A = this chain, B = another copy of it.
Amino acid sequence: MPASDPPKAGSGSGAPAPSAKAGEAVIDRAFAVLRAFDAEHRALPLAGLVQRTGLPRSTALRLARKLTETGALERLDDGRYVIGLRLLEIASLAPRGHGLRAVAMPYLEDLFHVTHQHIVLAVRDGDAATLVERLSAHNASPALFRVGGRMPLTRTGVGLVLLAHAPAEVQEHVLERFEPGHSYDDVRTAENLRRVLAEVRRGGYAIGSQAGPQPHTTAAAPIRDADDVVAAVSVVAPSADFDAAIYVPAVRATARAISRAMNDIRQVG
């Protein structure tokens, strides 16, 4: 021990040791690596992981390797990392994800055939809706949300349905930070929104239309498990001129069919 001076030094100023939070749980770090990926970054080199996670190089490398070993990540020929298949394998067991999707799919198909518009299936996760399934025609308007992506509760048909049936605390929280001007044309204030949500609960469906910037119309309905609303379906037409109301019966019928199908399965398991 040549070093005489106590390790407590460093306090002065010397090394900044800025964000490098040392004592961080391994699992959190591992998931930080996984979350470094997003729609715009589906393949990342080690440097990318380092940059986006803030982890030290060696640590990021070690984690990336272990994740690759387990199949959570895969490695491209050029050395970059991508999310691996095994993760899909595991994720497909999520009851609220593919579990729901599996029973809903045939009915969504039917609805798609009939309407030839976008079909959306979503569940609520905290203050957002997570898109579980989406059916689209070829010519479809492009920038709809991604499967697995999160959609705002106040700006989508499924979101309105899910929000309308969310716990009071969630509703309050969302209403507090509601920003007018980004929702449907008849939802311009928090008060509007409150009224709309009440209507959604009363009527058992939501409709909305928006002139811009991405003009579209939607009709959405709740999927129930017993009395709880656990998901929502919607039809989305890429045009503000369209009257979404004509889809309401079809969407509601589909939602009810899915609700029933889930209960039938419940009997078995």
Q: Beyond A27-B66, A150-B89, is A95–B35 a contact (Cβ under 8 Å)?
A: no
The reply to whether the CB of A189 lies closer than 8 angstroms to some CB of chain B is no
Q: Beyond A105-B136, A136-B105, A137-B106, is A93–B27 a contact (Cβ under 8 Å)?
A: no
A39/B93 in contact, CB under 8 A: yes
Using an 8 Å CB-CB cutoff, how does the interface string of A105-117 with B read, 1 for contact, 0 for none? 1100100110000
Q: Beyond A89-B150, A92-B147, is A136–B98 a contact (Cβ under 8 Å)?
A: no
B66/A25 in contact, CB under 8 A: yes
A85/B123 in contact, CB under 8 A: yes
Contacts of A132 in B (CB 8 A): 88
Please classify how large the interface on chain A is, using the bins under 10, 10 to 19, 20 to 34, 35 or more.
35 or more
Give the nearest-CB partner of A38 in chain B.
Answer: B93
Contacts of A92 in B (CB 8 A): 91, 146-149
B94/A87 in contact, CB under 8 A: yes
The reply to whether the CB of A70 lies closer than 8 angstroms to some CB of chain B is yes
Give A99 Cβ to nearest chain B Cβ, in Å.
Answer: 6
Copies in the complex: 2
Contact of A109 among B63, B94, B135 (CB under 8 A): B135
The reply to whether the CB of A175 lies closer than 8 angstroms to some CB of chain B is no
Interface centre among A28, A63, A83, A101 (most CB of B within 10 A): A83
Give the nearest-CB partner of A123 in chain B.
Answer: B85
Which parts of A73-99 form the interface with B (CB within 8 Å)? Answer: 74, 82-99
- Seed contacts A39-B93, A83-B93, A106-B138; 5 additional CB < 8 Å A-B pairs: A25-B66, A35-B90, A88-B94, A89-B148, A105-B135
Q: List 25 A-B contacts (CB under 8 A).
A: A27-B63, A27-B67, A28-B70, A34-B90, A37-B93, A74-B96, A82-B93, A82-B95, A82-B96, A83-B97, A85-B125, A87-B87, A87-B90, A88-B91, A88-B132, A89-B149, A91-B92, A91-B148, A98-B147, A105-B136, A106-B136, A106-B140, A109-B112, A109-B135, A109-B137
Partner-B contacts on A (CB < 8 A): 25-28, 30-31, 34-35, 37-39, 42-43, 63, 66-67, 70-72, 74, 82-99, 101-102, 105-106, 109, 112-113, 123, 125, 130, 132, 135-138, 140, 146-150
